[in-house]
Structure 1
Amino acid sequence: MSNNEKPGILPDRYGLGAAGMPYTSLSDYRPIPPNATGSLFLPDRLEKGYHVEELNDGVFYLTSGAYDCMFIATGNGVVAVDAPPLLGDNILRGIAEVTDEPVTHAIYSHWHADHIGAAGVFGQDVTVFAHEYTREMLERWPDMGRKNGIPLPTETISTSQSIAINGVTIDLDYKGVNHAPGNIFIYTPKQKVLAAIDIISPGWSAFKHCDASENIRGWAEAHDWILEYDFDAVVSGHVNRWGTREDALASRDYTWDIIDFAKQAFDEVDDFELVERIGFSNGWVLWEDYFNDMTNYVTKQTLTKTTDNGQTWAARLAGADVMTKYHAYSILEALRLEWGLLSKFERTITGD
């Protein structure tokens, strides 16, 4: 039986062969560690499609089991932080479950639709805080904003600003480009809760290509920015549980292991036999094989490393065996574009 005929694997229905993406199945990867499932199988989430819990003193965590956000009950109005479409109207249901306060304010972490696309459920009269870049994007592409009912930001920041809403202090911090330009950190210092969206995924590897980040180096640095805060809980936007400082440390160490192994690959992998085998007639084939070989080197080193708790990353972070190759590829490319480094292969060709 061929690979495409194995049970649980889709056939090559488009006939693309090597030009297409391969299909895999659950049996190709490790089982998910029990501590990574978080709210996914909780009775209330299975029944209602969402789970809500108080993190500390009026700050709540709300998740669909795939996307999450937070909200703050101030005593005289709710401040909603993000509005993922996979929660949709369940955002209002989750809020109503714990308070009868109306949503008076919203904060957008960044402009990506998967995190704010349902903000129209708050109505058009809410006061909305966001980075000025987020407003620019929503104005530039109306289908991302007004046409879909997403209220435009009414208050924008460019760097960092502390705001007080009904006596609750919320720090809005922009430390520079990371996952996306304008992606801000939202922190409640009294409650010690941080929303840092699309950087870590507690208990999991991030989604492929460093969570589809627009700047890989900034995304990697943002792991250290998270750890500058004094927090007891971090809301990350994904996957199905809120995170701890231990989760943030693990994600940072995993990320920097990939970076270190990628730098190592730049110095050690040359693969000049590829030139002899492939030649230069189709440079993309040569480049694909070279980068794929370096990606496999980095993936192997990362997944088999014994980490500080005695586990490998493959065993420690759910989905690491699925996603590490994508992170490795993106980081290898970022070493060229955002770190300004050349691989051994390139240095030899150019004589550097």
Structure 2
Amino acid sequence: MLNATGGHGDAHGPCHFIHVKPDNVTDLSHGFLTRELAPGVFEKKRDGRRLSPTRVFSEKLTLRKGSRTLLLERDEFHSSEGDLIIYLPEEKVMMAVDLLAPDWVPLLDFDITGNMFAYLGAFDRLLAYDFETFISGHTADIARREDVERTKAYAFDVYETVKRIHGELNVAELLERDRDNEQAGIKLLIDEVTARATEEVKSRWLNGPMRGVDLWTESHCRAMLLYVRWSD
């Protein structure tokens, strides 16, 4: 059984090297693959890395294989096509790829999320489950529940800091600095909020407990500003 956790090619791992008949494997991909939402999405990609699914579902699915129970649920915290959460209740294991990395702040632009609103809400949705072990993908390190809680605290610190600084600025005054070039004013606004928020967030997180603040916090503040100003 193969479970595709997202629309990105790397979410399918090396499955394109596996040559099996449909009755030998079930590729249980999530809701964005249903006929109603995106017919033939893998065929349209035409990159050869994704196996076409032999079974699909819309929002949730419970699987029982031997003594194991797996709960599969669709989410939208990362990929624009949708994401798959996999939960094993007996083992208290949760898997959600591209939300976080243990001991690190998220990658560029909050793991390059295509939906910041869903990304911020995903933490509480996941923490509503009873799990101890968290599989984040893209690393051999296993995360714990505390990693989800810590990353949530960081993400909301960025959100609240950016939102406050943006609200404190006199946007009209910034845009007025170059009346003949409105887009220059918008860039100035983005640069100003990003720089101030980055400095403030770094002052709280640069010395731990997560690595990567020096690498990615600026991108987090910029991505969050785009969300706060135009989508929040």
TM-score scaled by structure 1?
A: 0.59
How many Å separate the matches in 2 of 1:276 and 1:178? 36
C-alpha displacement of 1:313:
4.6
- Whether 2:190 is the aligned partner of 1:291: answer yes
Aligned to 2:231: 338
Aligned to 1:319: 212
How many Å separate the matches in 1 of 2:84 and 2:134? 14
How many Å separate the matches in 2 of 1:315 and 1:284? 37
Aligned to 1:282: 181
How many Å separate the matches in 2 of 1:217 and 1:268? 22
Amino acid at match of 1:106: L
- Whether 2:103 is the aligned partner of 1:164: answer no
Contact 2:176–2:185 (Cα < 8 Å) also in 1: no
C-alpha displacement of 1:140:
3.3
Amino acid at match of 1:223: F
Alignment of 1:74-93 (within 5 A): none
How many Å separate the matches in 2 of 1:120 and 1:293? 46
**Compared CA separation, residues 223 and 197, structure 1 to 2 (3 A):** same
Amino acid at match of 1:329: R
C-alpha displacement of 1:238:
3.1
How many Å separate the matches in 2 of 1:195 and 1:155? 20
Aligned to 1:262: 162
C-alpha displacement of 1:298:
1.4
Query: Match of 1:301, SS?
Result: helix
How many Å separate the matches in 1 of 2:207 and 2:29? 36
How many Å separate the matches in 2 of 1:267 and 1:106? 47
Runs of 5+ consecutive residues of structure 1 not aligned to the other structure: 1-104, 306-311, 340-352
How many Å separate the matches in 2 of 1:233 and 1:152? 30
C-alpha displacement of 1:209:
1.0
C-alpha displacement of 1:240:
4.3
C-alpha displacement of 1:234:
0.7
Q: Deviations over 1:67-99 (max 9, x none)?
A: xxxxxxxxxxxxxxxxxxxxxxxxxxxxxxxxx
**Compared CA separation, residues 290 and 199, structure 1 to 2 (3 A):** same
C-alpha displacement of 1:275:
4.2
How many Å separate the matches in 2 of 1:212 and 1:137? 22
How many Å separate the matches in 2 of 1:282 and 1:117? 47
How many Å separate the matches in 1 of 2:152 and 2:206? 12
Query: Match of 1:201, SS?
Result: coil
**Compared CA separation, residues 149 and 292, structure 1 to 2 (3 A):** closer
How many Å separate the matches in 1 of 2:101 and 2:76? 19
Query: Match of 1:106, SS?
Result: coil
Aligned to 1:235: 135
Task: Give the share of equivalent positions with the same residue, in percent.
Answer: 23
Contact 2:69–2:89 (Cα < 8 Å) also in 1: yes
Asked which structure has the greater CA Rg, the reply is 1
Aligned to 1:226: 126
Alignment of 1:299-318 (within 5 A): 299-305=198-204, 312-318=205-211
Query: Match of 1:200, SS?
Result: coil
- Whether 2:40 is the aligned partner of 1:144: answer no
Aligned to 2:5: 109
Contact 1:117–1:148 (Cα < 8 Å) also in 2: no
TM-score scaled by structure 2?
A: 0.87
Higher helix share: 2
Amino acid at match of 2:185: L
Aligned to 1:33: none
Runs of 4+ more than 3 Å apart: 134-138, 271-277
How many Å separate the matches in 1 of 2:15 and 2:115? 25
Runs of 5+ consecutive residues of structure 2 not aligned to the other structure: none
Aligned to 2:100: 200
RMSD: 2.2
How many Å separate the matches in 2 of 1:191 and 1:179? 25
Aligned to 2:112: 212
Alignment of 1:236-255 (within 5 A): 236-255=136-155
How many Å separate the matches in 1 of 2:126 and 2:141? 17
C-alpha displacement of 1:272:
5.7
Contact 2:31–2:59 (Cα < 8 Å) also in 1: no
